[in-house]
């Protein structure tokens, strides 16, 4: 039985040694010295041939047991030491996470584009097409088709940059509507469109006037379009742009190309309608013009106004942006001070 007690002793001693080891190298030495070919356990197993047949399996199994428990202890210790080593290494690699990151520049979209995209996407979602048209227009499309024959006093309301008597810089995006209406085949369905773009007026540039600005006009023509539909559509627009709580109101107005014509006010998004500096203490802000398409405009496009009719509206992205972001000088949009432009990061 001395072999067994030797083994017992070996195990005790070995386990104690392993426990105190603090480096993988020493641990490896211990493994070699205990479990290696020249180690004591191998020796014990070699000495088994001298044992009786009864003792041999007992001692053998005990020796295996001792070897297993020592192996396991070494393995566990090894893991422990490696983890410790890694932790030390990671600790040494610590950086100051508050140092700034390497700069990456992303460009911004112009605020007017943001406003325009936002409105375009709203109307695309409602089944409208977005139609572009020429900025240099014919008097015919800019005025005459829009029920403003030569000498019409309303032409004075839109001071015009002429190139020749017949060619001009468009004063609104309505001519795009006239062109589209003229070509539209109602057998293919109703006409639902918006026409965004740059427009020009013969104005002196100041805080509230610009000889170049933007417009988005909308037009819906079919057999059964009502003014109630116009009101509903503008409500959707106003809530989308200025907030879900907004109300609108229509006031009579005059445009040569619509009849009835209305100005559209939205309840003040700043004060909610109680009255403040933004709405000049009225609770309402004038945001766009609209109306039912004038029968002459329908007829000018070669369409029977007794059967077809519709609504139209026009708004200014410049004005919308000024209202929405509290910009008080329209020239800011075209001077392109990078500090001004970079404020508008979010396309919402």
The one among 99, 244, 277, 346 contacting other proteins by CB under 8 A: 99
As a whole number of angstroms, the longest Cα–Cα distance in the chain is 132
Size of the site for other proteins (CB under 8 A): 85
Preceding omega of 260 cis (within 30 degrees of 0): yes
Residues 6+ apart with CB under 8 A from 162: 168, 169
CB of 48 to other proteins, least distance (A): 55
Q: Is 308 left (phi over 0), alpha (psi -120 to 50) or beta?
A: beta
With CB under 8 A as the contact rule, which of the stretches 66-74, 77-85, 164-172, 176-184 interacts with other proteins? Answer: 164-172
Interface residues for other proteins in 68-97 (CB under 8 A)? none
With CB under 8 A as the contact rule, which of the stretches 5-13, 47-55, 62-70, 290-298 interacts with other proteins? Answer: 290-298
CB of 179 to other proteins, least distance (A): 14
Judged by CB, which is closer to other proteins: 223, or 274? 223
* Three-state secondary structure call for residue 226: coil
The per-residue b/e assignment along 203-239, b for 16 or more CB within 10 angstroms, e otherwise, is eeeeeeebebbbbbbbbbbeeebeeeebbebbeebbe
SS (H, E, C) 108-149: CCCHHHHHHHHHHHHHHHCCCEECCCCCEEEHHHHCHHHCCC
Question: Which helix or strand (DSSP H or E) is residue 309 part of?
Answer: strand 309-315
Q: Is 307 in the site for other proteins (CB under 8 A)?
A: no
As a whole number of angstroms, the distance between CA 304 and CA 220 comes to 15
Q: Is 105 in the site for other proteins (CB under 8 A)?
A: yes
Q: Is 235 in the site for other proteins (CB under 8 A)?
A: yes
Show the site string, 5-44: x = touches other proteins by CB under 8 A, - = not. Answer: ----------------------------------------
Q: What totals of helices (H) and strands (E) does the chain contain, helices first?
A: 12, 9
The one among 287, 294, 300, 330 contacting other proteins by CB under 8 A: 294
Q: Is 161 in the site for other proteins (CB under 8 A)?
A: yes
CB of 136 to other proteins, least distance (A): 6
Interface residues for other proteins in 133-152 (CB under 8 A)? 134-136, 151
Tell me how crowded residue 143 is: count the other CB atoms within 10 A of its CB: 27
With CB under 8 A as the contact rule, which of the stretches 51-59, 68-76, 251-259, 270-278 interacts with other proteins? Answer: 251-259
Interface residues for other proteins in 173-232 (CB under 8 A)? 189-190, 192, 198, 200, 202-204, 211-212, 220, 222-229, 231-232
Helix%, strand%, coil% for the chain, nearest 5: 45, 20, 35
- Assess contact for 28 and 22: CB atoms under 8 A: no
Interface residues for other proteins in 37-66 (CB under 8 A)? none
Show the site string, 252-271: x = touches other proteins by CB under 8 A, - = not. Answer: xxx----xxxxx--------
Judged by CB, which is closer to other proteins: 128, or 269? 128
CB of 340 to other proteins, least distance (A): 10
- Round the CA-based radius of gyration of the chain to a whole number and report it: 43
Judged by CB, which is closer to other proteins: 88, or 132? 132
Q: Is 42 left (phi over 0), alpha (psi -120 to 50) or beta?
A: alpha
Q: Is 154 in the site for other proteins (CB under 8 A)?
A: yes
């Amino acid at each position: 039985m001395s072999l067994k007690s030797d083994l017992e002793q070996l195990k005790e001693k070995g386990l104690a040694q392993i426990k105190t080891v603090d480096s993988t190298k020493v641990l490896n030495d211990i493994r070699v010295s205990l479990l290696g070919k020249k180690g004591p356990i191998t020796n014990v197993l070699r000495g088994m041939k001298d044992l009786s047949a009864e003792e041999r399996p007992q001692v053998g199994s005990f020796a295996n047991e001792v070897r297993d428990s020592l192996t396991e202890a070494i393995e566990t210790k090894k893991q422990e030491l490696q983890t410790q080593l890694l932790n030390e290494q990671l600790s040494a690699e610590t950086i100051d996470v508050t140092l700034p990151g390497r700069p990456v520049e992303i460009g911004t979209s112009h605020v007017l584009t943001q406003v325009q995209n936002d409105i375009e996407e709203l109307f695309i979602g409602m089944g409208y097409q977005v139609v572009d048209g020429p900025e240099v227009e014919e008097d015919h499309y800019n005025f005459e088709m829009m029920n403003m024959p030569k000498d019409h006093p309303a032409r004075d309301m839109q001071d015009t940059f002429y190139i020749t008597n017949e060619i001009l810089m468009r004063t609104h995006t309505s001519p795009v509507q006239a062109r589209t209406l003229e070509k539209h085949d109602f057998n293919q369905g109703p006409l639902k469109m918006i026409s965004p773009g740059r427009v020009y007026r013969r104005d002196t540039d100041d805080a509230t006037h610009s000889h170049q600005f933007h417009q988005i006009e909308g037009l819906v023509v079919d057999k059964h379009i009502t003014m109630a539909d116009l009101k509903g559509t503008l409500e959707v627009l106003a809530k989308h742009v200025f907030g879900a709580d907004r109300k609108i109101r229509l006031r009579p107005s005059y445009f040569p190309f619509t009849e009835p014509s209305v100005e559209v006010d939205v309840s003040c998004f700043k004060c909610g309608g109680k009255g403040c500096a933004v709405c000049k203490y009225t609770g309402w802000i004038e945001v766009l013009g609209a109306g039912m398409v004038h029968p002459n405009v329908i007829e000018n496009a070669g369409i029977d106004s007794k059967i077809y009719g519709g609504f139209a509206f026009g708004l200014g992205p410049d004005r919308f942006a000024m209202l929405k972001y509290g910009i008080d000088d329209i020239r800011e949009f075209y001077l392109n001070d990078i500090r001004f432009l970079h404020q508008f990061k979010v396309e919402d």
